Structure 1
Amino acid sequence: MYYKRKTRPFSTALFLITATYVLFFWLPSTSYYRRLPKPISRKDTTVRKDAIRLNKVTEHYPVTEFIPLPTSPASIPHIQYDFPPESNSERKSRLKKQRAIKEAFMHSWNGYKEYAWLRDEVKPRTGGYQDTFNGWGATLVDSLDALIIMGLDDELELALEALEEIDFTTTASKQVPVFEIIIRYMGGFIAAHDLTNGKHPVLLKKAVELGEMIFNAFDTHNRMPQMRWEWMKSAKGEEIKPSPRSSLAEIGSLTMEFTRLTQLTGDPKYYDAVQRIMNELEIGQDKTRLPGMWPTWINTDKMGFDDSEFTIGGCADSAYEYFPKAHILLGAQTDQYRRMYEKAIETFNENLLFRAMTKDEDQHILFAANIIAMRGNAKTFQYSPDHLKCFMGGTVAIGAKVFNRPEDMYVAKGLTDGCVWAYDVMPTGIMPEVFKVSPCRHHDDCPWDEEQWYEDVLSRSIDNEEIRERAADQIEAHRLPPGVTDIRDASYNLRPEALESVFIMYRITGDKTLLDTAWRMFQNIDKATRSNFGHSSINDVRESKPKQNDKMESFWLAETLKYLYLIFSEPDHISLDDYVLSTEAHPFKRANASHT
């Protein structure tokens, strides 16, 4: 008896030591409640104080009269579904999934804080850092509104303190990618400002600093911006020129950020800058080889639209996305964006939209083709879906609501379902970057035809058994699921576009099966991409254990995980009737306009 009593203090002490070890050493690595101490700045110290800086720059082509914001009030239909109250079990399940997504966010955020604070990106596998967007802290700024949305107040406080260290007047980079800087940095500042109702003056201050700096990229003979801006020329007082080859996405996707900056500051020059671009695009819309849409590449020096490539994928995507969204942001106070969107969507539906052949004949799986339009109306179709096109389901759904086009909801659902199908048929449960599929011969009648699939794999007819075996060998060698004819790029780069459309479709339709879809997608992505210090892009979605590429772009936190978190939030959290989300998923407050 005495022996047992004597060992009890020792047992208790051992338990306390073990518990302390678990609490302070093991739990922090698995729980998002861990808060690292104030992070060490990894800011580039190679930029000297006497480096070239953009201060007051003499304009070569100043604007004498600015285009004002439109002021005619109008109404916009409600966008969001009228969700009924959820049950206790539904709420419990939803919050559990939301916490898992928040933990994934904090895992990546902590890796950035510890190894790449004030740099652009963390290397999630090795713990290094890299600067891909001028070294101004892209991940930090891009993630500001996500911190607010997820209620991470302590993390926001650290981020706000660090903003004063960002100096937009200089960079070690020779060029400034205007589009990427505006959507990531300016969008991040403005959304965080809107979400906190202007509580933190530093946010709008930094947005204006960036706006003043990058406005110089518009100082060209026709006021079209130099998209790969040679900023040192501007700093030295030299003239810059628009590019003879600018992508449609870059030139056409600045409207929301610059319009909102004018709305917030009252300075008309930002809205003027992007409105001039929109006017030029509208003039050229019917002069292309595929009237109603614009080619992927535009000569912005001469405003030429004669390129032959048409797509809604990479290098074109967000230009189309911004038509309904800019219409919403402006409170429907101009009809220009409606006109441009309706012409574009009708051309898209007639030319690029196609149904893919799958074994499940009841599935209406829709994708967008690419077109090479030659002179004389000759067209070449490329039935090549890619992840960047997956935004289109959500965009068409928003356009269907705000422009009263209910017939387009069928297209929106089909495009969203197509991207979900592309996730589900891959071994990892993740969609590849670029692939090809067998198109249906007839949109409404599309039975599974294995012979057609084999022919599409080889791009030739199956004349004999030897050729058939060759097709089967290629399918096996390239690990092609039924209906997929080629995988051009098997990587997954942490992209958000498919989840973006799932989020928007859920908020618009209230379809609860999309919650299961989103959760399945998250689990598969988290499993394949989770790395030591964040989440990494992967090289091949066909591998059961794909190689990680040690790359984590800022949109993983700013978009992908934010969309997932919002899917499992209460529907009025960032309601689509109160906010409009930019192409980088930054929520901007909508203008005060009536709803119908």
Structure 2
Amino acid sequence: MSYLPIKKLFGSPRRISIFLFVLVLLGIQGYISIKSGSVLFLDAPRCTPKVDRNLTFGINLPVDNRPPIITELASAMRHSWKAYTNYAWGMDEVKVISRVGTHWMDASLTMIDSLDTLWIFNMTEEFNRCRDWITTQVNFDVDRDNSNVFESTIRLLGGLLSAFHLSGENVFLEKAKLIGSKLIVAFNSPSGLPYTNINFQTLHASLPSNGRIVALSEVATLQLEFNELAMLLQNASIARPAANVYRILDKVNKLSGLISSDLNMYRPEYSLPSTITLGARGDSYYEYLLKVWIQTGKKSDWLRNEYLTAVNGMREKLIRKSVPNGLTFVGELHGSRFSTKMDHLVCFLPATLAYGYLHGMPADHLELAMNLAETCFHMYNDTKTGLSPEIVHFNLANSDKSDFYIMRLDSFNLLRPEAIESFFYLYQITKNPKYQEWGKQIFRAFNTYSRVEPAGYAPLLNVQSEVPSYKDKMESFWIAETLKYFLLLFDDSLATKYDLRKWVFNSEAHPFPLHSSGTISVIQDLYNF
């Protein structure tokens, strides 16, 4: 641009100097915004979602017409929520024995994680109180180095996005944009894999003190949430760093489609398949391969093929039958050594396999899902309390003993959701009433052994003792996932609203709608490689 047009616009040289100075300042601010990731969220065009106005608050049956189990669940939800509101309001988690709240990320974790469950349970007043608190008090700006990126994404970002879809309240999208702009900074690493932790105030991202290793599940269970935010804002840049993780994992050594649960953060391509598990640190990578494929319109051959190859790899390398009763279970590989250890977390797999079948995956996936779900039921049914331990080990040799045994240090129960999640999926697909019967039995065991007074539910330390002793923390996933899946399992009208052909649930049970092709198109190309 020549000097003459500028002079005509601004007049004196002094005004021109001021104009140029402002331009420099804007340039510096733009650089800082790009480095922090926040520029991706500033001027993004917004896609107005189609909020389904039929998704009114749940449990609309008159009290007199409710099945007893629905009434019992409503009581359990209110009893659980009472513990949070009475002892820990605004805090992250609640200790139901000590009756105090605790901070982890200073982000009102249980509150945000519970929003859609409050909605589905028709707890209107409680939902609105949370909304008002979040509007004025939650800014994700605390100076704390241990805010976990994975947990923040599935619980906080996922919870806010789901609450936005269900209620249409714009504050939840604004808060989702805010935390998304901070979490995305974690992907600024030499390899492109996200760091484990982030400080929400300083935006310093870091690894745990053990150095160079990150968990497969933690780097590969972020895509649904960032995709959803990107589609709402119609800005592919928001989803690109999370999608790029798949490009990185494409180069990692695999064993029949299975990846080590521990990855080298800085040189992931040199990670060897040393520990392969569908339990802790590995599980939700496989879940999100399928769910991201469905969320993005089933167009990515890479996602579909990776998922199918992984399921075949599970059959070949990990799935066995126990002795004496032939329960189908999923073991682990430690190098070349097979272990019969199965985490309760693995009980997510029947739900994933069934969801895949519903969306066009092979019919034998559903058969495998049903067999594994039966094993998960036995993990509850065959203990003294009727509640599953965290880990079991299966018997493979001829024996007159039971199909699995429980090590003393593994005998605790954390109120986990995975088995109930799978029963919900399988009931919706097969309509076999046994899944509701199994769920009813397990819920009543929770009521017998984990319900504490005057409020809350507590994890059991030993499922083989009928005299309960407790861990002093009610995990946020008890409300966010376990109670939600219980209700969806038993309330057919609610399950119809959240039709699994039209919704995808993230790893924390937060439902996102499956969008039209026009909305999806903004992110589709990110997964074509």
Counting only pairs closer than 5 Å after superposition, residues 14-53 of structure 1 correspond to structure 2 as none
TM-score of the superposed pair, with normalisation by structure 1: 0.73
Which of residues 375, 383, 386 is equivalent to 1:418? 375
Which of residues 250, 270, 274 is equivalent to 2:218? 250
> Quick check: 2:96–2:472 contact (8 Å CA) kept in 1?
yes
Once residues 217 and 492 of structure 1 are traced to their aligned partners in structure 2, the CA distance between those partners, rounded to angstroms, is 32
Q: Does 1:497 align with 2:418?
A: yes
Which has the higher Rg, Structure 1 or Structure 2? 1
Q: How far is the alpha carbon of 1:265 from its aligned partner?
A: 1.0
Counting only pairs closer than 5 Å after superposition, residues 94-243 of structure 1 correspond to structure 2 as 95-132=67-104, 134-196=105-167, 198=168, 200-229=169-198, 234=203
> Quick check: 1:233–1:240 contact (8 Å CA) kept in 2?
no
Which of residues 536, 542, 559 is equivalent to 2:481? 559
> Quick check: 2:217–2:284 contact (8 Å CA) kept in 1?
yes
Identical-pair percentage = 27
> Quick check: 2:323–2:399 contact (8 Å CA) kept in 1?
no
Once residues 112 and 410 of structure 1 are traced to their aligned partners in structure 2, the CA distance between those partners, rounded to angstroms, is 40
Q: Does 1:569 align with 2:491?
A: yes
TM-score of the superposed pair, with normalisation by structure 2: 0.82
Q: Does 1:404 align with 2:361?
A: yes
Which has the higher mean CA deviation after the structures are superposed, 239-248 or 120-129? 239-248
Q: Does 1:507 align with 2:475?
A: no
Once residues 369 and 340 of structure 1 are traced to their aligned partners in structure 2, the CA distance between those partners, rounded to angstroms, is 20
Which of residues 561, 567, 582 is equivalent to 2:506? 582
| 1:315 corresponds to | 281
Q: Does 1:298 align with 2:269?
A: no
Q: How far is the alpha carbon of 1:410 from its aligned partner?
A: 1.7
Counting only pairs closer than 5 Å after superposition, residues 330-369 of structure 1 correspond to structure 2 as 330-358=296-324, 361=325, 364-369=326-331
> Quick check: 1:59–1:219 contact (8 Å CA) kept in 2?
no
Once residues 428 and 315 of structure 1 are traced to their aligned partners in structure 2, the CA distance between those partners, rounded to angstroms, is 28
> Quick check: 1:189–1:204 contact (8 Å CA) kept in 2?
yes
Once residues 508 and 266 of structure 1 are traced to their aligned partners in structure 2, the CA distance between those partners, rounded to angstroms, is 33
Once residues 231 and 556 of structure 1 are traced to their aligned partners in structure 2, the CA distance between those partners, rounded to angstroms, is 25
- Greater percentage in helix: 2
3-state SS, counterpart of residue 385 of structure 1? strand
Once residues 124 and 38 of structure 2 are traced to their aligned partners in structure 1, the CA distance between those partners, rounded to angstroms, is 42
> Quick check: 2:340–2:395 contact (8 Å CA) kept in 1?
yes
Q: How far is the alpha carbon of 1:347 from its aligned partner?
A: 0.5
Q: How far is the alpha carbon of 1:232 from its aligned partner?
A: 6.4
> Quick check: 1:244–1:302 contact (8 Å CA) kept in 2?
no
| 1:11 corresponds to | none
Extract structure 1 runs of 4+ deviating beyond 4 A.
55-66, 91-94, 230-233, 239-243
> Quick check: 2:160–2:173 contact (8 Å CA) kept in 1?
yes
| 2:346 corresponds to | 389
Once residues 322 and 538 of structure 1 are traced to their aligned partners in structure 2, the CA distance between those partners, rounded to angstroms, is 30
CA deviations on 1:217-236 (whole Å, 9 max, x unpaired) are 1122333211223566646x
Q: How far is the alpha carbon of 1:422 from its aligned partner?
A: 1.0
> Quick check: 2:355–2:500 contact (8 Å CA) kept in 1?
no
Counting only pairs closer than 5 Å after superposition, residues 70-85 of structure 1 correspond to structure 2 as none
Once residues 373 and 480 of structure 2 are traced to their aligned partners in structure 1, the CA distance between those partners, rounded to angstroms, is 21
Q: Which amino acid aligns with 1:385?
A: M
Distance 1:64 1:568, change over 3 A: closer
Q: Does 1:450 align with 2:399?
A: yes
3-state SS, counterpart of residue 535 of structure 1? coil
Q: Which amino acid aligns with 1:331?
A: G
Q: How far is the alpha carbon of 1:282 from its aligned partner?
A: 2.2
> Quick check: 2:34–2:40 contact (8 Å CA) kept in 1?
no
> Quick check: 2:481–2:508 contact (8 Å CA) kept in 1?
yes
| 2:332 corresponds to | 370
Q: How far is the alpha carbon of 1:214 from its aligned partner?
A: 1.3
Q: How far is the alpha carbon of 1:204 from its aligned partner?
A: 0.3
Q: Does 1:539 align with 2:510?
A: no
| 1:528 corresponds to | 449
3-state SS, counterpart of residue 226 of structure 1? coil
Once residues 56 and 527 of structure 1 are traced to their aligned partners in structure 2, the CA distance between those partners, rounded to angstroms, is 58
> Quick check: 1:353–1:366 contact (8 Å CA) kept in 2?
yes
Q: Which amino acid aligns with 1:372?
A: H
Q: Which amino acid aligns with 1:408?
A: H
> Quick check: 2:92–2:103 contact (8 Å CA) kept in 1?
yes
Once residues 244 and 40 of structure 2 are traced to their aligned partners in structure 1, the CA distance between those partners, rounded to angstroms, is 12
| 2:57 corresponds to | none
Which of residues 472, 485, 491 is equivalent to 2:405? 485
CA deviations on 1:232-256 (whole Å, 9 max, x unpaired) are 6646xxx968962110100010010
Distance 1:302 1:153, change over 3 A: same
Which of residues 224, 227, 243 is equivalent to 1:259? 227
Give ranges in structure 1 of 5+ residues lacking alignment: 1-54, 67-87, 374-378, 442-448, 454-481
| 1:268 corresponds to | 236
> Quick check: 1:61–1:220 contact (8 Å CA) kept in 2?
no
3-state SS, counterpart of residue 525 of structure 1? helix
RMSD of the TM alignment (CA)? 2.6
Q: How far is the alpha carbon of 1:57 from its aligned partner?
A: 4.7
Q: Which amino acid aligns with 1:161?
A: D
